[in-house]
Amino acid sequence: MSLPQHPTSSAPGERGSRTGTARHGARSSRTAGPPEHGARPGPPAGRRDADPHGHSHGGGPALPATRRVRLALAAILVPALLLTVVGLVALWPRAADLPDQIPFTAQGTHVVHGVVTGAAEVETGLVPVRLDDGTETEVVAPPEYVQHGFEAGDRLRMLYISQAEGDGGSPYAFLDFERSVPIAALAVAFALLVLAVARLRGLAALAGLAIALVTIAQFTLPALLAGQDVLPVALVTSSAVMFVVLYVAHGFTARTSTAMVGTLVGLVLTAALASWGASTARITGLTSEEALWLPSYAPGIDLQGIAICGIVLAGMGVLNDVTITQASTVWELRALAPWASRRELFARAMRIGRDHIASTVYTIAFAYVGAALPLLMAVWLSDQALGTSLTSGEIAEEVVRTLVGSIGLVLAIPLTTAVAVAAVPSGRALPVDQTGTGEPGPDRRAPLDGPTVHGPAAGPSRDAGSDAPEARRGSVHRDEDGDLVRSGPFT
């Protein structure tokens, strides 16, 4: 919002006087005369205040940081990048250390595909299907799937068991529904929408996501199966993924680098909290069927460590969101308010950060509720005390995961905001075309939050020929949140 404009007159002979232009109704480019007592210099004409509750990921070009700031960021991030690369090399599993893969099918069996042609028989569990080679047959389905129901046209994956041929039963056993087509359609729709809305930024984000998934598949999972130290694997994975995702999606700028600093510190804090929480709460990792048989095929794995790694990786995505948002917020506030002090920038950015904390905590909590809804329903049906249920087994692991991730993001927001405020250029350092003033410097700076401003210091004046009547100006005062707002017909 622009501060109110008030008519004034220029002293004779002063620079910017309107001795000639006022007669022709032109607007003055400067305000003459000393400011009223207690008034502060206002923002440049045409500038508007930053939205105090916005959510920005930085759509415009970033303001250039000073050379000192760039060197300071490089002094932090270059060693971190080198440590990440060294960690990847040192922890990369050798083929000899990896356990043998488990064969999906036994000898004499293989997977076939087909389509359901009719209703299932509830008594026998047989479902009529047509195989892809045209053969009409029946497949044996478990009772729970028969109760769920099969519809004509459903595509199935089935296991052919040659030993069952000729014993009077069906040699085909139900494995699962074939879901490749709908999942592929959703993935394509997601990618197209991201490209349509975010364009090149969306393309970069998709590329970063692909690289991140490849990193996890090619490094993280094999390293865990090979029995490598879990905490270093989690930190190296998270650091490598964040270096790629942030810089590919958001560009090589000081703004991105400040977000990267906040993300790295947040990851270290999250890893430390996850390790402490898993040890103190006795998180064993033995809460799923897969965890029970994994040690039989990969005896070197650490199930508790895998749970810790999962907590760190889960917190990684949330940290990425909040840190880049806070860094972008500070940069956008500086672009819109080059006259504001760093303390005021931090205070305003943290107001946005507090809103972000609230919404992200809800996101983390409800993401777990949605994923664990059947388990929570089973807890509700149990006559066991609620406190006992929430601290037992699988639920306790997810509670620790949620709390650790939330604590990590809460700590990362003020940290990233402070780094961004220290790194963003001051109003004096901004080029003329980025501040919007003809003379950047202390005389053009004013806080984002300040006292009511009237008189010539409120901004450029308008002459008698101005097309803006006095009724458009109103007055400026603080609202209940301490923000400057305009009262009047155009509030």
Domain boundaries, the chain: 1-40+463-491, 67-98+200-373+400-428, 109-178
Q: Which two tokens stand for residue 99?
A: 């356990």
pLDDT at res. 459: 43
* 127 bridge partner residues: 139
- Quote the CA–CA distance of 469 and 9 in Å, as a whole number: 17
Of the candidates 246, 428, 268, 232, which has an alpha carbon nearest to the alpha carbon of residue 325?
246
For 79, 283, 288, 292, the CA distances from 374, given in Å and listed in that order, are 46, 21, 14, 21
pLDDT at res. 8: 40
Length of the chain, please? 491
Q: Which two tokens stand for residue 297?
A: 């095929």
pLDDT at res. 51: 45
Block means of pLDDT (10 residues each) for the chain, 491 residues, are 41 40 40 42 43 47 76 95 96 88 84 93 90 92 90 93 79 92 96 94 91 94 92 95 91 91 94 92 83 85 90 87 90 89 92 87 83 85 81 84 89 94 76 44 45 42 41 46 45 36
pLDDT at res. 360: 81
Of the candidates 401, 437, 214, 210, which has an alpha carbon nearest to the alpha carbon of residue 309?
401
What number of other Cβ atoms are within 10 A of residue 344's Cβ?
A: 18
CA angle in degrees (0–180, nearest 5) for 317-318-320? 65
- The CATH topology of domain 109-178 is OB fold (Dihydrolipoamide Acetyltransferase, E2P) (2.40.50)
- Quote the CA–CA distance of 356 and 369 in Å, as a whole number: 20
Q: Is residue 250 a contact partner of residue 208, using CB atoms and an 8 Å limit?
A: no
pLDDT at res. 345: 92
pLDDT at res. 81: 96
Q: Is residue 484 a contact partner of residue 4, using CB atoms and an 8 Å limit?
A: no
pLDDT at res. 428: 59
pLDDT at res. 444: 43
Q: Is residue 460 a contact partner of residue 28, using CB atoms and an 8 Å limit?
A: yes
pTM for the whole structure: 0.69
Alpha helices in 281-392 (DSSP H): 289-297, 303-336, 342-371, 373-381, 386-390
